[in-house]
Amino acid sequence: MIAAVADVHSPKYIDLFRQAIRSTPWDSVEVLLFIGDMVNRGKIDEYKRVLDALEGYYEGDIIGILGNEEYEQYENEIVSRFDRIVWLRDEGIELTLDDYKVGIVGTRGILDRPTFWQRKNIPDIVSRYHSRLRRIEDVLRNFRKRVQVLILLSHYSVTFKTLEGERRSIWREMGSTRMESLIVRYGVDLAIHGHAHRSRVLRTRLSSGALVVNASLPAVKSISLVDLRKEVVRRGILGFI
């Protein structure tokens, strides 16, 4: 079982996070995924509160990506201080889950249209997103050749399908259909994102059969669980195994 959570925005939703932890069947969880914005507005010290909340419940592996509120200027400090978490920054890791060889690729993600703040404060944001997209494509292509199950983690949404409930006028500033195209092209089996606090569509499937999960805590109100064998392998391209 895979557990995933995004958008704790500690301390804002830390009580909801603690409640979600108490109701999660941790004995069946093989890995916990942090999908970004675990702390609020650059308050990186809050990662200690987030990790402390797990004590006594979960002592296994944690893999994390960064969101837009883990500000880039603090990125290296976050990674060095909170090494309980294996951080993925436009890169991937191989591991065995449920007896399958699994590749997990992680990224902040990209937007089809940068936000007003980004356009105003990050002059090269468009080229940054183009570069990140190319990097993620290269990593996915490489991992697809080596693993049985390919998982993509992105803080920003990877499809507009899970943005239902958010204002349609800002969908392009919350996610990217270009990421959806990569998922389909490279046979990603499972994609998990956050960022969509008001989403009413928490799970969907793409044309390729890939399962997409929105793990945003304010939307889900719990830690998202994915049964790799039942929901991904049997329903996806590995159904013959």
Over residues 51-104, the pLDDT tens digits come to 999 999 999 999 999 999 999 999 999 999 999 999 999 999 999 999 999 999
Domain 2-233 class, CATH top level = alpha beta
Distance CA(11)–CA(22), nearest Å, equals 17
Residue-wise pLDDT tens digits, 145-203: 999 999 999 999 999 999 999 999 999 999 999 999 999 999 999 999 999 999 999 99
Q: Place 235 in a pLDDT band, splitting at 50, 70 and 90.
A: low
> Which among 156, 204, 201 has a CA at the least distance from the CA of 7?
156
Q: Which two tokens stand for residue 56?
A: 């006594």
Average pLDDT over residues 226-232: 94
State the pTM of this model.
Answer: 0.95
In terms of phi and psi (left: phi > 0; alpha: psi -120 to 50; beta: otherwise), the region of 38 is alpha
